[in-house]
């Protein structure tokens, strides 16, 4: 087995946190997502993962988020087998292996060049899964996107790392380029942006959250999007948490609006 030394900085480094949590879930007695690829990839990454263990209290939330996005992706591909999936900020997530997109669709994984380079070395992806090394804020990579296919844009754990103006420009670009489709993403509450500045693991790699969710602002900026879902990730986690001792804490989090809304999943439809 060949291993890869990983030394990522900035937002790219956070992909190790979500990878670790998916592997933690997969190793548990009652996995929620059961992403077997996460452990295989983790075993090939040279990194001191013990430093990430303290995040595992959030593991159920992270894997519930991934599971719901997998379900939305599968639902889209069943309805639109010739459609296109833009998997933005894909990190080292095995979504195309879990969801198994049909060969008739286009699937494009997008992340920063150093991440796509690592992804290509660590995963044996089907050849109809394309990988694009680019910042989602760049314009150039959009040339590679089909403009005539219904498209699901899925952005997991991404938008909070972008400044507000970049999120706005990205959503505008989606609407200008794509005829019809769905936009699925998670977003965080404003207080988490402040807390993220002081989170030791974020400080160590030089990153933090930059943008937070405000439904009124988002929907008035993008009036052609039609809301389908707005789900609390912690509500999902409280129901699914396999560690019984954690359920009371998640239940309490679920009735406190700042915690309940700290991370929410959103799905919008456009052009239909
Ligand atoms: C928390 S990780 C999430 C990764 C993956 N979606 C997952 O759930 O495991 C954040 C990801 O966003 C990517 N990212 C951050 N800013 C980006 C940008 N401007 N363009 C492309 N990817 C970006 C990072 O490189 C990283 O892979």
- The pLDDT mean for the chain works out to 94
Predicted pLDDT at 241: 78
Q: What is the band of 1 on the pLDDT scale with cuts at 50, 70, 90? A: confident
Alpha-carbon span 229 to 226, nearest angstrom: 9
pLDDT digits (tens, 9 = 90+) for 92-116: 999 999 999 999 999 999 999 999 9
pLDDT digits (tens, 9 = 90+) for 203-245: 988 999 999 999 999 999 999 999 999 999 988 888 887 777 8
Pocket perturbation via mutation, ligand 1, pick of 20, 91, 167 by most ligand atoms within 8 A of CB = 91
Q: Which residue has the tokens 């900035």?
A: 10
Ligand 1 pocket member 210 (CB < 6 A): no
Ligand 1 pocket member 93 (CB < 6 A): yes
In this structure, the dihedral spanned by the alpha carbons of residues 59, 19, 173 and 206, taken in order and rounded to 10 degrees, is 90
**Which two tokens mark 47?**
């990194």
Residue 255 has pLDDT above 90, yes or no: no
Alpha-carbon span 30 to 85, nearest angstrom: 30
Whole-number Å distance, alpha carbon 71 to ligand 1 midpoint, is 20
pLDDT digits (tens, 9 = 90+) for 44-92: 999 888 888 877 878 999 999 999 999 999 999 999 999 999 999 999 9
Q: What is the DSSP string of 135-187?
A: -TT-SGGGGGS-SSS-EEEEESS-GGGS-HHHHHHHHHHHHHH-SSEEEEEEE
Whole-number Å distance, alpha carbon 15 to ligand 1 midpoint, is 6
Q: What is the band of 26 on the pLDDT scale with cuts at 50, 70, 90? A: very high
Whole-number Å distance, alpha carbon 162 to ligand 1 midpoint, is 10
Cβ pair 22, 35 in contact under 8 A: yes
Ligand 1 pocket member 91 (CB < 6 A): yes
Residue 267 has pLDDT above 90, yes or no: yes
Q: Which long-range contacts (CB under 8 A, 24 or more apart) does 25-34 make?
A: 25/59, 25/60, 25/62, 25/63, 28/242, 28/243, 29/242, 30/242, 31/63, 31/242, 32/60, 32/63, 32/64, 32/67, 32/240, 32/242, 33/63, 33/64, 33/66, 33/67, 33/70, 33/98
Alpha-carbon span 137 to 112, nearest angstrom: 10
| Gyration radius (Cα) of the chain, Å | 18
Predicted pLDDT at 246: 79
- Give the atom of ligand 1 at the shortest distance from the alpha carbon of 93: 9
Predicted pLDDT at 181: 98
Pocket perturbation via mutation, ligand 1, pick of 13, 15, 95 by most ligand atoms within 8 A of CB = 15
- Give the atom of ligand 1 at the shortest distance from the alpha carbon of 135: 20
Alpha-carbon span 20 to 242, nearest angstrom: 17
- What domains can you pick out in the chain, each with its CATH number? 64-270 (3.40.50.150)
The size of the chain, in residues, is 272
Strand, coil or helix: what is 257? helix
In this structure, the dihedral spanned by the alpha carbons of residues 197, 201, 206 and 207, taken in order and rounded to 10 degrees, is -60
């Amino acid at each position: 087995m060949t291993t890869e030394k990983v030394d990522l900085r900035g937002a790219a480094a956070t992909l190790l946190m979500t990878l670790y949590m998916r592997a933690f879930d997969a190793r548990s007695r009652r996995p929620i997502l059961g992403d077997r690829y996460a452990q295989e990839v983790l075993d090939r990454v040279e990194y001191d993962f013990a430093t990430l263990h303290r995040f595992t209290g959030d593991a159920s939330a992270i894997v519930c988020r991934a599971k719901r996005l997998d379900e939305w992706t599968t639902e889209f591909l069943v309805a639109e087998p010739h459609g296109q999936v833009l998997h933005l900020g894909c990190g080292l997530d095995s979504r195309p292996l879990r969801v198994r997109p049909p060969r008739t669709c286009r699937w494009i994984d997008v992340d920063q060049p150093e991440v796509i380079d690592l992804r290509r070395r660590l995963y044996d992806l089907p050849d109809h899964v394309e990988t694009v090394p680019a910042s989602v804020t760049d314009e150039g990579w959009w040339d590679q996107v089909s403009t005539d296919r219904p498209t699901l844009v899925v952005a997991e754990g991404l938008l909070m790392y972008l400044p507000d103006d970049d999120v706005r420009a990205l959503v505008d670009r989606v609407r200008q380029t794509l005829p019809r489709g769905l936009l699925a993403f998670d977003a965080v509450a404003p207080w988490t942006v402040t807390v993220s500045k002081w989170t030791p693991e974020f400080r160590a790699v030089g990153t933090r959250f930059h943008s937070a969710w405000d439904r009124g602002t988002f929907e008035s900026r993008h009036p052609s999007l039609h809301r389908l879902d707005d789900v609390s990730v912690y509500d999902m986690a409280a129901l699914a948490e396999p560690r019984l001792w954690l359920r009371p804490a998640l239940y309490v989090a679920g009735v406190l609006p700042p915690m309940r809304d700290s991370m929410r999943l959103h799905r919008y439809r456009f052009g239909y």
